[in-house]
Amino acid sequence: MQRILGIDPGSRVTGYGIVDAGYGKVVFVSCGVIKTTPSFPLANRLNEIFEGINEVVQIHDPEVAAVEEVFISTNANSALKLGQARGAAVVAAMQNGLAVYDYSAKKVKRAVVGYGQAEKRQVQHMIRVLLGLSATPSNDAADALAVAICHANHQVSR
**Are 35 and 23 in contact, with CB atoms under 8 Å apart?**
no
Measure CA of the first residue to CA of the last residue in the chain; give whole Å.
16
| Whole-angstrom distance, CA of residue 25 vs CA of residue 7 | 20
Among 23, 31, 13, 53, residue whose Cα is nearest residue 147: 31
Number of domains in the chain: 1
Q: CA torsion sign, 136 to 141 to 145 to 146?
A: positive
Whether this model's pTM surpasses 0.85: yes
**Are 2 and 22 in contact, with CB atoms under 8 Å apart?**
yes
Residue 158 pLDDT? 41
Note down the domain range covering 42: 2-156
Residue predicted with more confidence, 155 or 88: 88
Query: Could you read off the pLDDT of 43-66 as tens digits, one per residue?
Result: 999 999 999 999 999 999 999 999
| Whole-angstrom distance, CA of residue 55 vs CA of residue 97 | 14
Give the CATH number for residue 8. 3.30.420.10
User: Would you name the residues annotated as active-site residues?
Assistant: 8, 68, 140
Query: Could you read off the pLDDT of 70-123 as tens digits, one per residue?
Result: 776 667 788 888 889 999 999 999 999 999 999 998 999 988 887 777 788 888
| Whole-angstrom distance, CA of residue 144 vs CA of residue 100 | 14
